Structure 1
Amino acid sequence: MAREIQRRTVIRTIGAAGTVALVGTAQAQDDDDEEIDEEPEPEEDGQILVWDAGGTGGTYYPLSGEFKTIVEEHTPHGLQVQSTGASVENVGSLAREEADFALIQNDINFFAYNGTGLEEFEDMPIETLRGVGSLYPETIHVVVEEGAGYESVEDLDGAAINTGDLGSGTQVNALQILESAGVEDFDEQNTDFATAADQLRDGDIDAAFIVGGWPVGAVEELATTADIDILEIGDELREELIEDVEFFAEDEIPADTYDGIDEDVETVSVQAMITTHEAVDEAIVEEVTAAIFDNTDDLSIKEEFIDVESSQDGMSIPLHPGAEAYFEEHEDVDLDDEDEPDDDEDPDDDDGEDDE
Protein backbone atom coordinates (compact mmCIF):
# COMPACT_ATOMS: atom_id res chain seq x y z
CA MET A 1 0.00 0.00 0.00
CA ALA A 2 1.35 3.41 -0.90
CA ARG A 3 2.07 5.69 1.99
CA GLU A 4 2.55 9.41 2.31
CA ILE A 5 5.31 10.89 4.46
CA GLN A 6 4.89 14.13 6.36
CA ARG A 7 8.08 16.17 6.85
CA ARG A 8 9.27 16.53 10.45
CA THR A 9 6.93 13.73 11.63
CA VAL A 10 8.55 10.75 9.94
CA ILE A 11 10.37 9.56 13.03
CA ARG A 12 7.32 9.75 15.26
CA THR A 13 5.40 7.46 12.90
CA ILE A 14 7.75 4.57 13.65
CA GLY A 15 7.02 2.42 16.69
CA ALA A 16 9.43 0.27 18.61
CA ALA A 17 8.43 -3.05 17.05
CA GLY A 18 11.90 -3.49 15.62
CA THR A 19 13.98 -1.81 18.29
CA VAL A 20 16.27 -4.81 18.57
CA ALA A 21 17.19 -4.38 14.91
CA LEU A 22 18.68 -0.93 15.42
CA VAL A 23 20.93 -1.94 18.27
CA GLY A 24 23.62 -1.77 15.60
CA THR A 25 23.80 -2.94 12.03
CA ALA A 26 27.20 -4.48 12.72
CA GLN A 27 26.46 -5.86 16.18
CA ALA A 28 25.83 -9.55 15.51
CA GLN A 29 25.81 -11.71 18.62
CA ASP A 30 28.01 -14.80 19.00
CA ASP A 31 28.42 -16.12 22.51
CA ASP A 32 31.10 -18.58 21.42
CA ASP A 33 33.61 -15.86 20.51
CA GLU A 34 36.48 -15.21 22.87
CA GLU A 35 35.80 -12.62 25.54
CA ILE A 36 38.24 -10.04 26.85
CA ASP A 37 39.23 -11.48 30.23
CA GLU A 38 42.16 -9.29 31.19
CA GLU A 39 41.41 -7.54 34.47
CA PRO A 40 41.96 -3.77 34.40
CA GLU A 41 45.13 -2.80 36.20
CA PRO A 42 45.19 0.95 36.83
CA GLU A 43 48.29 2.63 38.13
CA GLU A 44 48.33 4.11 41.62
CA ASP A 45 46.89 7.43 40.46
CA GLY A 46 44.48 5.87 37.93
CA GLN A 47 40.93 4.60 38.02
CA ILE A 48 39.04 1.58 36.70
CA LEU A 49 36.80 2.89 33.90
CA VAL A 50 33.80 0.84 32.76
CA TRP A 51 33.52 0.66 28.97
CA ASP A 52 30.35 -0.83 27.42
CA ALA A 53 30.95 -2.38 24.01
CA GLY A 54 28.58 -4.71 22.14
CA GLY A 55 28.15 -8.40 21.35
CA THR A 56 31.32 -10.47 21.21
CA GLY A 57 30.63 -11.37 17.58
CA GLY A 58 30.27 -7.79 16.36
CA THR A 59 32.70 -4.96 15.68
CA TYR A 60 32.19 -2.94 18.86
CA TYR A 61 33.58 -5.56 21.22
CA PRO A 62 36.95 -6.41 19.61
CA LEU A 63 37.51 -2.74 18.77
CA SER A 64 36.92 -1.91 22.43
CA GLY A 65 39.55 -4.50 23.31
CA GLU A 66 42.06 -2.58 21.19
CA PHE A 67 41.01 0.66 22.90
CA LYS A 68 41.61 -1.04 26.27
CA THR A 69 45.20 -1.86 25.28
CA ILE A 70 45.86 1.69 24.06
CA VAL A 71 44.27 3.44 27.07
CA GLU A 72 46.08 1.24 29.58
CA GLU A 73 49.39 1.82 27.80
CA HIS A 74 49.07 5.59 27.53
CA THR A 75 47.11 6.60 30.66
CA PRO A 76 47.17 5.54 34.31
CA HIS A 77 43.66 4.12 33.99
CA GLY A 78 42.38 0.59 33.50
CA LEU A 79 39.47 -0.26 31.18
CA GLN A 80 36.84 -2.83 32.13
CA VAL A 81 35.33 -3.77 28.76
CA GLN A 82 31.83 -5.26 28.99
CA SER A 83 29.91 -7.25 26.39
CA THR A 84 26.42 -5.75 25.95
CA GLY A 85 23.48 -5.59 23.56
CA ALA A 86 25.15 -2.50 22.04
CA SER A 87 23.68 0.94 21.36
CA VAL A 88 20.28 1.03 23.07
CA GLU A 89 21.46 -0.93 26.10
CA ASN A 90 24.58 1.21 26.32
CA VAL A 91 22.51 4.40 26.45
CA GLY A 92 20.80 3.04 29.55
CA SER A 93 24.11 2.21 31.25
CA LEU A 94 25.41 5.72 30.68
CA ALA A 95 22.13 7.27 31.83
CA ARG A 96 22.36 5.30 35.10
CA GLU A 97 26.10 6.14 35.33
CA GLU A 98 26.89 2.42 35.49
CA ALA A 99 29.39 2.88 32.66
CA ASP A 100 31.88 5.65 31.99
CA PHE A 101 32.20 5.19 28.22
CA ALA A 102 30.28 3.25 25.59
CA LEU A 103 30.13 2.69 21.85
CA ILE A 104 26.79 3.90 20.46
CA GLN A 105 25.56 4.74 16.97
CA ASN A 106 25.15 8.48 16.56
CA ASP A 107 21.49 8.21 15.53
CA ILE A 108 20.66 6.36 18.76
CA ASN A 109 22.53 9.05 20.70
CA PHE A 110 20.41 11.67 18.95
CA PHE A 111 17.15 9.89 19.73
CA ALA A 112 18.08 9.42 23.38
CA TYR A 113 19.41 12.95 23.94
CA ASN A 114 16.36 14.58 22.34
CA GLY A 115 13.74 12.19 23.74
CA THR A 116 12.32 11.30 20.34
CA GLY A 117 12.40 8.69 17.61
CA LEU A 118 11.90 5.55 19.69
CA GLU A 119 9.23 4.61 22.18
CA GLU A 120 11.90 3.98 24.83
CA PHE A 121 13.09 7.59 24.59
CA GLU A 122 9.87 9.41 23.65
CA ASP A 123 9.45 12.51 25.84
CA MET A 124 12.18 11.22 28.17
CA PRO A 125 15.36 12.95 26.95
CA ILE A 126 18.65 11.77 28.41
CA GLU A 127 20.43 15.10 28.42
CA THR A 128 23.44 13.84 30.37
CA LEU A 129 24.88 12.06 27.32
CA ARG A 130 28.06 13.58 25.92
CA GLY A 131 30.05 12.84 22.80
CA VAL A 132 33.74 11.94 22.61
CA GLY A 133 34.41 11.17 18.96
CA SER A 134 33.05 9.51 15.82
CA LEU A 135 34.82 6.35 14.70
CA TYR A 136 33.66 4.79 11.45
CA PRO A 137 30.66 4.95 9.10
CA GLU A 138 27.67 2.64 8.85
CA THR A 139 27.04 3.34 5.16
CA ILE A 140 23.60 3.71 3.59
CA HIS A 141 23.21 1.61 0.42
CA VAL A 142 20.22 2.16 -1.87
CA VAL A 143 20.31 -0.97 -4.04
CA VAL A 144 18.32 -1.47 -7.26
CA GLU A 145 18.39 -3.87 -10.19
CA GLU A 146 20.73 -2.72 -12.95
CA GLY A 147 18.82 -1.37 -15.94
CA ALA A 148 15.57 -0.88 -14.02
CA GLY A 149 15.48 2.79 -15.00
CA TYR A 150 16.26 4.33 -11.62
CA GLU A 151 19.06 6.89 -11.80
CA SER A 152 18.61 8.59 -8.42
CA VAL A 153 16.71 8.30 -5.14
CA GLU A 154 14.32 10.94 -6.46
CA ASP A 155 13.23 8.49 -9.20
CA LEU A 156 11.79 6.00 -6.68
CA ASP A 157 8.34 7.62 -6.43
CA GLY A 158 5.79 4.83 -6.97
CA ALA A 159 8.35 2.05 -6.46
CA ALA A 160 8.20 -0.98 -4.16
CA ILE A 161 10.91 -0.29 -1.56
CA ASN A 162 12.24 -2.40 1.29
CA THR A 163 13.15 0.12 4.01
CA GLY A 164 14.53 -2.42 6.50
CA ASP A 165 13.00 -4.16 9.49
CA LEU A 166 9.92 -2.48 10.93
CA GLY A 167 10.97 0.02 13.57
CA SER A 168 14.66 -0.44 12.81
CA GLY A 169 17.31 2.24 12.44
CA THR A 170 17.50 1.35 8.76
CA GLN A 171 13.80 2.13 8.35
CA VAL A 172 14.30 5.46 10.08
CA ASN A 173 17.21 6.28 7.76
CA ALA A 174 15.29 5.23 4.67
CA LEU A 175 12.13 7.20 5.43
CA GLN A 176 14.13 10.34 6.19
CA ILE A 177 16.02 10.07 2.89
CA LEU A 178 12.88 9.33 0.88
CA GLU A 179 11.10 12.25 2.52
CA SER A 180 13.92 14.66 1.77
CA ALA A 181 14.05 13.38 -1.82
CA GLY A 182 10.36 14.14 -2.28
CA VAL A 183 9.39 10.46 -2.66
CA GLU A 184 5.92 10.50 -1.12
CA ASP A 185 4.11 7.49 -2.59
CA PHE A 186 5.66 4.03 -2.53
CA ASP A 187 4.91 0.45 -1.58
CA GLU A 188 6.88 -0.15 1.63
CA GLN A 189 8.24 -3.60 2.49
CA ASN A 190 9.94 -4.38 5.82
CA THR A 191 12.38 -7.29 6.25
CA ASP A 192 15.97 -8.00 7.23
CA PHE A 193 18.83 -7.38 4.80
CA ALA A 194 19.14 -10.96 3.54
CA THR A 195 15.43 -11.17 2.75
CA ALA A 196 15.53 -7.75 1.08
CA ALA A 197 18.35 -8.99 -1.16
CA ASP A 198 16.29 -12.06 -2.07
CA GLN A 199 13.29 -9.86 -2.85
CA LEU A 200 15.38 -7.68 -5.14
CA ARG A 201 16.88 -10.71 -6.89
CA ASP A 202 13.42 -12.21 -7.42
CA GLY A 203 11.92 -8.96 -8.72
CA ASP A 204 9.51 -8.60 -5.80
CA ILE A 205 10.76 -5.08 -4.97
CA ASP A 206 12.38 -2.27 -6.90
CA ALA A 207 14.83 -0.99 -4.28
CA ALA A 208 16.26 -1.88 -0.89
CA PHE A 209 17.86 0.26 1.80
CA ILE A 210 20.73 -1.58 3.49
CA VAL A 211 22.92 0.02 6.16
CA GLY A 212 26.31 -1.22 7.30
CA GLY A 213 30.04 -0.77 6.98
CA TRP A 214 31.03 -1.71 3.43
CA PRO A 215 31.32 -4.29 2.16
CA VAL A 216 27.96 -5.50 3.53
CA GLY A 217 27.64 -9.27 3.20
CA ALA A 218 24.06 -9.23 1.91
CA VAL A 219 24.99 -6.79 -0.87
CA GLU A 220 28.20 -8.69 -1.70
CA GLU A 221 26.28 -11.94 -2.12
CA LEU A 222 23.54 -10.29 -4.16
CA ALA A 223 26.08 -8.69 -6.49
CA THR A 224 27.60 -12.10 -7.30
CA THR A 225 24.25 -13.57 -8.38
CA ALA A 226 22.44 -10.58 -9.90
CA ASP A 227 23.23 -7.37 -11.77
CA ILE A 228 22.74 -4.48 -9.36
CA ASP A 229 23.28 -0.77 -9.13
CA ILE A 230 23.65 1.44 -6.04
CA LEU A 231 21.94 4.81 -6.32
CA GLU A 232 23.89 7.89 -5.42
CA ILE A 233 22.58 10.28 -2.81
CA GLY A 234 23.54 13.25 -4.94
CA ASP A 235 25.04 16.58 -3.94
CA GLU A 236 21.84 18.55 -3.36
CA LEU A 237 20.03 15.80 -1.45
CA ARG A 238 23.14 14.92 0.53
CA GLU A 239 23.71 18.53 1.56
CA GLU A 240 20.05 18.88 2.61
CA LEU A 241 20.20 15.71 4.71
CA ILE A 242 23.41 16.71 6.47
CA GLU A 243 22.08 20.22 7.13
CA ASP A 244 18.74 19.00 8.48
CA VAL A 245 19.74 15.85 10.33
CA GLU A 246 22.57 16.04 12.86
CA PHE A 247 23.62 12.40 12.67
CA PHE A 248 24.16 12.02 8.90
CA ALA A 249 27.67 12.40 7.47
CA GLU A 250 29.07 12.36 3.94
CA ASP A 251 30.25 8.95 2.78
CA GLU A 252 31.38 7.11 -0.33
CA ILE A 253 31.30 3.48 -1.44
CA PRO A 254 34.52 2.97 -3.41
CA ALA A 255 34.46 1.54 -6.91
CA ASP A 256 34.81 -2.25 -7.09
CA THR A 257 33.61 -2.77 -3.52
CA TYR A 258 30.86 -4.87 -5.10
CA ASP A 259 30.83 -6.83 -8.37
CA GLY A 260 29.60 -4.66 -11.21
CA ILE A 261 29.93 -1.35 -9.35
CA ASP A 262 32.91 0.18 -11.12
CA GLU A 263 32.52 3.81 -10.02
CA ASP A 264 32.52 5.49 -6.61
CA VAL A 265 29.03 5.97 -5.15
CA GLU A 266 28.36 9.13 -3.14
CA THR A 267 26.05 8.54 -0.18
CA VAL A 268 25.61 9.29 3.53
CA SER A 269 26.16 7.29 6.67
CA VAL A 270 25.46 7.14 10.34
CA GLN A 271 28.48 6.81 12.60
CA ALA A 272 29.68 4.51 15.33
CA MET A 273 30.95 6.78 18.10
CA ILE A 274 32.42 6.89 21.59
CA THR A 275 29.97 8.33 24.12
CA THR A 276 30.27 9.25 27.79
CA HIS A 277 28.16 11.18 30.30
CA GLU A 278 28.53 14.58 31.88
CA ALA A 279 29.54 13.29 35.34
CA VAL A 280 32.79 11.71 34.11
CA ASP A 281 35.77 13.82 35.16
CA GLU A 282 36.95 16.24 32.47
CA ALA A 283 40.62 15.31 32.89
CA ILE A 284 39.86 11.60 32.54
CA VAL A 285 37.86 12.13 29.35
CA GLU A 286 40.66 14.26 27.90
CA GLU A 287 43.26 11.61 28.77
CA VAL A 288 41.23 8.78 27.23
CA THR A 289 40.42 10.83 24.12
CA ALA A 290 44.07 11.75 23.63
CA ALA A 291 45.24 8.17 24.13
CA ILE A 292 42.90 6.82 21.46
CA PHE A 293 43.16 9.54 18.82
CA ASP A 294 46.91 10.04 19.26
CA ASN A 295 47.51 6.32 18.70
CA THR A 296 45.15 5.26 15.93
CA ASP A 297 48.13 3.66 14.15
CA ASP A 298 47.97 0.94 16.81
CA LEU A 299 44.48 -0.12 15.69
CA SER A 300 43.84 -3.08 13.36
CA ILE A 301 40.01 -2.81 13.27
CA LYS A 302 38.42 -0.04 11.13
CA GLU A 303 41.78 1.72 11.32
CA GLU A 304 41.31 3.20 7.85
CA PHE A 305 38.43 5.32 9.17
CA ILE A 306 39.41 6.34 12.70
CA ASP A 307 41.38 9.58 12.91
CA VAL A 308 41.28 13.06 14.40
CA GLU A 309 40.15 14.72 11.18
CA SER A 310 36.91 12.70 10.95
CA SER A 311 36.30 12.58 14.71
CA GLN A 312 33.39 15.03 14.59
CA ASP A 313 31.63 13.66 11.51
CA GLY A 314 27.96 13.25 12.33
CA MET A 315 28.42 14.31 15.97
CA SER A 316 24.81 14.27 17.17
CA ILE A 317 25.10 15.31 20.84
CA PRO A 318 27.17 17.92 22.70
CA LEU A 319 30.85 17.13 23.21
CA HIS A 320 32.11 16.40 26.70
CA PRO A 321 34.35 19.29 27.84
CA GLY A 322 37.27 16.87 28.20
CA ALA A 323 36.99 15.75 24.58
CA GLU A 324 36.49 19.33 23.45
CA ALA A 325 39.68 20.38 25.26
CA TYR A 326 41.62 17.75 23.32
CA PHE A 327 40.14 18.50 19.89
CA GLU A 328 40.51 22.27 20.31
CA GLU A 329 44.26 21.71 20.03
CA HIS A 330 43.86 20.29 16.50
CA GLU A 331 43.37 22.78 13.69
CA ASP A 332 42.00 20.09 11.33
CA VAL A 333 38.97 19.49 13.59
CA ASP A 334 35.91 21.66 12.98
CA LEU A 335 34.14 22.23 16.29
CA ASP A 336 30.97 24.00 15.20
CA ASP A 337 29.32 24.98 18.47
CA GLU A 338 26.36 26.51 16.67
CA ASP A 339 25.29 23.10 15.36
CA GLU A 340 25.38 21.38 18.73
CA PRO A 341 22.08 20.77 20.51
CA ASP A 342 21.49 23.13 23.40
CA ASP A 343 20.82 21.50 26.77
CA ASP A 344 17.91 23.87 27.43
CA GLU A 345 16.43 23.76 23.94
CA ASP A 346 13.28 21.78 23.17
CA PRO A 347 14.04 19.84 19.97
CA ASP A 348 10.43 20.25 18.85
CA ASP A 349 10.97 24.03 18.68
CA ASP A 350 13.77 23.63 16.14
CA ASP A 351 13.30 24.03 12.41
CA GLY A 352 15.35 20.90 11.70
CA GLU A 353 14.12 17.32 11.54
CA ASP A 354 12.87 15.59 14.68
CA ASP A 355 15.03 12.64 14.09
CA GLU A 356 17.88 9.41 12.48
Structure 2
Amino acid sequence: LFYYEVTAEMFCTTKDSGITDLKGLDGQRFNPGGTGTSAEDLCHKILGLFDVNPDYFVASQADAADAYSNREIVGTIKLGPVVDSYVMQLNASVPVNVINLSDEEIAKIIEAYPFLIKVTIPAGTYDGIDQDVNTVGTPQGAQTTTKLSQQDGYNIVKAMFDDGKSIWQAAYPSGAENDYVAMTLASTVPLHAGTVQYFVEQGIEVPEELIPPEYVAVQ
Protein backbone atom coordinates (compact mmCIF):
# COMPACT_ATOMS: atom_id res chain seq x y z
CA LEU A 1 0.00 0.00 0.00
CA PHE A 2 2.67 2.52 0.99
CA TYR A 3 5.97 3.06 2.77
CA TYR A 4 6.55 5.93 5.19
CA GLU A 5 9.96 5.26 6.76
CA VAL A 6 13.24 3.45 6.25
CA THR A 7 15.00 1.92 9.25
CA ALA A 8 18.77 1.47 9.08
CA GLU A 9 20.77 -1.37 10.62
CA MET A 10 23.43 0.64 12.44
CA PHE A 11 26.53 -1.21 13.62
CA CYS A 12 27.70 1.08 16.43
CA THR A 13 31.16 0.76 17.97
CA THR A 14 33.09 2.94 20.37
CA LYS A 15 35.46 5.25 18.54
CA ASP A 16 38.30 4.32 20.83
CA SER A 17 37.91 0.63 19.93
CA GLY A 18 39.28 1.46 16.48
CA ILE A 19 36.75 -0.92 14.88
CA THR A 20 35.59 0.54 11.57
CA ASP A 21 34.55 -2.55 9.60
CA LEU A 22 32.63 -5.77 10.12
CA LYS A 23 35.75 -7.94 10.26
CA GLY A 24 36.92 -5.93 13.25
CA LEU A 25 34.01 -7.33 15.28
CA ASP A 26 35.34 -10.88 15.05
CA GLY A 27 36.01 -12.21 18.56
CA GLN A 28 35.01 -8.90 20.20
CA ARG A 29 32.42 -8.54 22.95
CA PHE A 30 29.47 -7.14 21.00
CA ASN A 31 25.72 -6.83 21.46
CA PRO A 32 23.74 -7.98 18.38
CA GLY A 33 20.71 -5.84 19.24
CA GLY A 34 17.94 -6.21 21.78
CA THR A 35 17.09 -9.81 22.57
CA GLY A 36 14.40 -11.12 20.21
CA THR A 37 14.35 -8.02 18.01
CA SER A 38 14.58 -7.90 14.23
CA ALA A 39 17.85 -6.01 14.69
CA GLU A 40 19.33 -9.07 16.42
CA ASP A 41 18.07 -11.38 13.69
CA LEU A 42 19.54 -9.17 10.94
CA CYS A 43 22.85 -8.91 12.79
CA HIS A 44 23.28 -12.69 12.84
CA LYS A 45 22.25 -12.95 9.18
CA ILE A 46 24.66 -10.24 8.03
CA LEU A 47 27.70 -11.20 10.10
CA GLY A 48 27.15 -14.85 9.19
CA LEU A 49 27.51 -13.95 5.51
CA PHE A 50 31.02 -12.67 6.17
CA ASP A 51 32.04 -15.36 8.67
CA VAL A 52 32.35 -12.78 11.44
CA ASN A 53 31.87 -14.27 14.90
CA PRO A 54 31.81 -11.79 17.79
CA ASP A 55 31.69 -12.81 21.43
CA TYR A 56 28.01 -11.98 21.66
CA PHE A 57 26.69 -10.08 24.67
CA VAL A 58 23.00 -11.02 24.66
CA ALA A 59 20.87 -8.41 26.41
CA SER A 60 18.00 -5.96 26.15
CA GLN A 61 18.62 -2.60 24.49
CA ALA A 62 18.68 -0.89 27.88
CA ASP A 63 21.24 -3.32 29.30
CA ALA A 64 23.31 -3.08 26.12
CA ALA A 65 23.37 0.71 26.44
CA ASP A 66 24.62 0.38 30.02
CA ALA A 67 27.29 -2.11 28.97
CA TYR A 68 28.33 0.23 26.15
CA SER A 69 28.65 3.24 28.44
CA ASN A 70 30.61 1.13 30.95
CA ARG A 71 32.89 -0.10 28.11
CA GLU A 72 32.00 -3.73 28.82
CA ILE A 73 31.32 -4.17 25.10
CA VAL A 74 32.86 -2.63 21.99
CA GLY A 75 29.49 -1.86 20.45
CA THR A 76 25.91 -2.72 19.72
CA ILE A 77 23.31 -2.75 16.94
CA LYS A 78 20.35 -0.44 16.48
CA LEU A 79 17.71 -0.86 13.78
CA GLY A 80 15.87 2.42 13.58
CA PRO A 81 15.28 5.65 11.67
CA VAL A 82 18.37 7.39 10.34
CA VAL A 83 18.18 9.93 13.17
CA ASP A 84 17.83 7.57 16.10
CA SER A 85 17.60 8.68 19.73
CA TYR A 86 19.21 5.45 20.98
CA VAL A 87 22.34 6.05 18.89
CA MET A 88 22.39 9.64 20.13
CA GLN A 89 22.25 8.30 23.68
CA LEU A 90 25.20 5.97 23.01
CA ASN A 91 27.17 8.82 21.46
CA ALA A 92 26.54 11.03 24.47
CA SER A 93 28.04 8.45 26.82
CA VAL A 94 31.00 7.23 24.72
CA PRO A 95 31.78 8.68 21.26
CA VAL A 96 30.35 6.37 18.64
CA ASN A 97 31.39 5.17 15.20
CA VAL A 98 28.79 3.73 12.82
CA ILE A 99 30.41 1.14 10.54
CA ASN A 100 30.34 2.10 6.86
CA LEU A 101 29.61 -0.90 4.63
CA SER A 102 31.30 -1.11 1.24
CA ASP A 103 29.30 -1.30 -1.98
CA GLU A 104 30.47 -4.91 -2.36
CA GLU A 105 29.27 -5.82 1.14
CA ILE A 106 25.90 -4.16 0.58
CA ALA A 107 25.45 -5.95 -2.75
CA LYS A 108 26.22 -9.31 -1.15
CA ILE A 109 23.80 -8.68 1.72
CA ILE A 110 20.95 -7.61 -0.58
CA GLU A 111 21.54 -10.56 -2.88
CA ALA A 112 21.15 -12.91 0.10
CA TYR A 113 18.30 -10.96 1.70
CA PRO A 114 16.43 -9.03 -1.01
CA PHE A 115 13.97 -7.53 1.48
CA LEU A 116 16.80 -5.21 2.54
CA ILE A 117 17.77 -1.98 0.78
CA LYS A 118 20.78 0.34 0.83
CA VAL A 119 20.47 3.18 3.34
CA THR A 120 22.74 6.22 3.57
CA ILE A 121 23.14 8.08 6.86
CA PRO A 122 24.18 11.62 5.89
CA ALA A 123 27.35 13.17 7.29
CA GLY A 124 26.67 15.13 10.46
CA THR A 125 23.63 13.10 11.48
CA TYR A 126 25.50 12.17 14.65
CA ASP A 127 28.08 14.35 16.38
CA GLY A 128 31.60 13.35 15.42
CA ILE A 129 30.62 11.42 12.27
CA ASP A 130 31.54 13.80 9.47
CA GLN A 131 31.13 11.50 6.48
CA ASP A 132 28.21 9.66 4.88
CA VAL A 133 27.73 6.15 6.26
CA ASN A 134 26.26 3.42 4.07
CA THR A 135 24.46 0.43 5.50
CA VAL A 136 21.36 -1.66 4.83
CA GLY A 137 17.88 -1.37 6.23
CA THR A 138 14.22 -2.15 5.84
CA PRO A 139 11.39 -0.04 4.45
CA GLN A 140 8.47 0.37 6.87
CA GLY A 141 4.91 0.62 5.67
CA ALA A 142 1.52 -1.04 5.20
CA GLN A 143 1.13 -4.25 3.23
CA THR A 144 -1.97 -6.16 2.21
CA THR A 145 -3.13 -8.80 -0.27
CA THR A 146 -5.07 -8.68 -3.50
CA LYS A 147 -8.17 -9.57 -1.47
CA LEU A 148 -8.42 -5.90 -0.50
CA SER A 149 -10.42 -4.24 -3.24
CA GLN A 150 -8.93 -1.52 -5.42
CA GLN A 151 -11.43 0.99 -4.03
CA ASP A 152 -10.67 0.15 -0.41
CA GLY A 153 -6.94 0.31 -1.08
CA TYR A 154 -7.41 3.68 -2.79
CA ASN A 155 -9.36 5.00 0.20
CA ILE A 156 -6.61 3.94 2.62
CA VAL A 157 -3.82 5.48 0.56
CA LYS A 158 -5.78 8.69 0.01
CA ALA A 159 -6.32 8.94 3.76
CA MET A 160 -2.59 8.44 4.37
CA PHE A 161 -1.27 10.79 1.69
CA ASP A 162 -4.05 13.36 1.57
CA ASP A 163 -7.07 13.57 3.87
CA GLY A 164 -5.37 12.37 7.06
CA LYS A 165 -1.81 13.50 6.37
CA SER A 166 -1.78 16.17 9.08
CA ILE A 167 -2.90 13.63 11.68
CA TRP A 168 -0.05 11.15 11.21
CA GLN A 169 2.46 13.96 10.71
CA ALA A 170 1.53 15.29 14.15
CA ALA A 171 1.74 11.80 15.63
CA TYR A 172 5.04 10.96 13.94
CA PRO A 173 6.98 14.24 13.67
CA SER A 174 10.37 12.60 13.09
CA GLY A 175 9.08 11.21 9.80
CA ALA A 176 6.66 13.99 8.91
CA GLU A 177 8.78 15.30 6.04
CA ASN A 178 9.83 11.94 4.62
CA ASP A 179 9.31 11.54 0.87
CA TYR A 180 6.74 8.76 1.22
CA VAL A 181 5.95 8.81 -2.53
CA ALA A 182 9.59 8.11 -3.42
CA MET A 183 9.80 5.45 -0.69
CA THR A 184 6.67 3.74 -2.03
CA LEU A 185 7.88 3.86 -5.64
CA ALA A 186 11.16 2.24 -4.51
CA SER A 187 9.22 -0.89 -3.59
CA THR A 188 10.64 -4.22 -4.74
CA VAL A 189 7.16 -5.78 -4.94
CA PRO A 190 4.09 -4.64 -6.91
CA LEU A 191 1.94 -1.89 -5.43
CA HIS A 192 -1.67 -2.44 -4.52
CA ALA A 193 -4.10 -1.53 -7.31
CA GLY A 194 -5.57 1.21 -5.11
CA THR A 195 -2.13 2.77 -4.64
CA VAL A 196 -1.62 2.80 -8.40
CA GLN A 197 -5.03 4.42 -8.87
CA TYR A 198 -4.16 7.17 -6.38
CA PHE A 199 -0.75 7.85 -7.92
CA VAL A 200 -2.18 7.98 -11.44
CA GLU A 201 -4.84 10.41 -10.19
CA GLN A 202 -2.04 12.62 -8.82
CA GLY A 203 -0.12 12.54 -12.09
CA ILE A 204 2.67 10.39 -10.59
CA GLU A 205 4.29 7.96 -13.02
CA VAL A 206 4.28 4.39 -11.73
CA PRO A 207 6.92 2.00 -13.12
CA GLU A 208 5.36 -0.81 -15.14
CA GLU A 209 6.84 -3.50 -12.91
CA LEU A 210 4.99 -2.05 -9.90
CA ILE A 211 1.54 -2.17 -11.52
CA PRO A 212 -0.31 -5.37 -10.52
CA PRO A 213 -2.33 -7.32 -13.11
CA GLU A 214 -5.58 -6.68 -11.19
CA TYR A 215 -5.27 -2.89 -11.54
CA VAL A 216 -8.14 -1.32 -13.51
CA ALA A 217 -7.73 2.20 -14.86
CA VAL A 218 -10.41 4.59 -13.62
CA GLN A 219 -11.72 7.24 -16.01
TM-score range, shorter chain: 0.7 to 0.9
| Residue in 2 that maps onto 1:330 | 204
Which of the pair has the greater relative contact order for Cα pairs under 8 Å at 6+ separation? 2
Q: Which residue among 168, 171, 177 is the counterpart of 2:37?
A: 168
Tell me the distance in 2 between the aligned counterparts of 1:146 and 1:291: 44
Contact 1:139–1:211 (CA under 8 A) maintained in structure 2: yes
User: Residue 309 in 1 paired to residue 177 in 2?
Assistant: no
Distance in 1 of aligned mates of 2:129 and 2:40? 24
The alignment of Structure 1 onto Structure 2 pairs a total of residues equal to 204
The answer to whether the aligner puts 1:271 opposite 2:144 as a matched pair is: no
TM-score normalised to structure 2 length: 0.78
| Alignment partner of 2:191 out of 291, 313, 319 | 319
From 157, 163, 170, the counterpart of 2:26: 157
- The 8 Å contact of residues 146 and 227 in structure 1, kept in 2 or not, is answered as yes
Which residue of structure 2 lines up, in the alignment, with residue 123 of structure 1?
A: none
The equivalent position to 1:187 in structure 2, one of 55, 60, 75, is 55
Letter in 2 for 1:153: L
Q: Aligned-pair distance for 1:326?
A: 4.2
TM-score normalised to structure 1 length = 0.51
Check 1:296–1:309 CA distance in 2 against 1; reply closer, same or farther (3 A cut): farther
Which structure has the highest helix share of the two?
A: 2
Which structure 2 residues correspond to residues 279-298 of structure 1 after superposition, within 5 A? 279-293=147-161, 298=166
Residue 277 to residue 321, structure 1, CA distance change in 2 (3 Å): same
Q: Which residue of the partner structure matches residue 236 of structure 1?
A: 104
SS in 2 for 1:277: coil
SS in structure 1 of the partner of residue 42 of structure 2: helix
Give structure 1 stretches of 5+ with no counterpart: 1-131, 341-356
* Deviation sequence 1:83-139 (CA, Å, 0-9, x none): xxxxxxxxxxxxxxxxxxxxxxxxxxxxxxxxxxxxxxxxxxxxxxxxx11110122
Q: 1:262 aligns with which of 130, 133, 143?
A: 130
**AA partner of residue 254 (structure 1):** P
Q: CA RMSD in A?
A: 2.7
> What CA distance in whole angstroms lies between the structure 1 residues aligned with 2:129 and 2:164?
30
State the partner residue of 1:71.
none
Summarize the Cα distance change of 1:163–1:308 in structure 2 as closer, same or farther, 3 Å threshold: same
CA displacement at 1:195 relative to structure 2: 1.9
SS in 1 for 2:17: coil
Displacement of 1:216 after TM fit? 2.3
Q: How does 1:121-160 map to 2 (within 5 A)?
A: 132-160=1-29
| Structure 2 spans left out of the alignment, 5+ residues | 213-219
Q: Is the 8 A contact 1:296 1:307 kept in 2?
A: no
Change over 3 Å in CA distance of 1:154–1:330 after alignment to 2: farther
- Change in 2 beyond 3 A, CA 1:313/1:144: same
Q: Residue 13 of structure 1 aligns with which residue?
A: none
- SS across alignment from 1:283: helix
Matched-pair contact (CA < 8 Å) for 1:248–1:314? no
Identity of aligned residues (%): 25
Using the TM superposition, give the Cα deviation of residue 296 of structure 1 relative to its aligned residue in structure 2, in angstroms.
Answer: 9.1
Give the distance between the partners of 1:165 and 1:213, measured in 2 at CA.
16
Note closer, same or farther for the CA distance 1:153–1:167 as it changes in structure 2 (3 Å cut). Answer: same
Shift of 1:297: 7.3
Deviation at 1:290, TM superposition (A): 4.2
- Give the C-alpha shift of residue 241 in structure 1: 2.2
Work out the CA distance in 2 between the residues paired with 1:153 and 1:184. 7
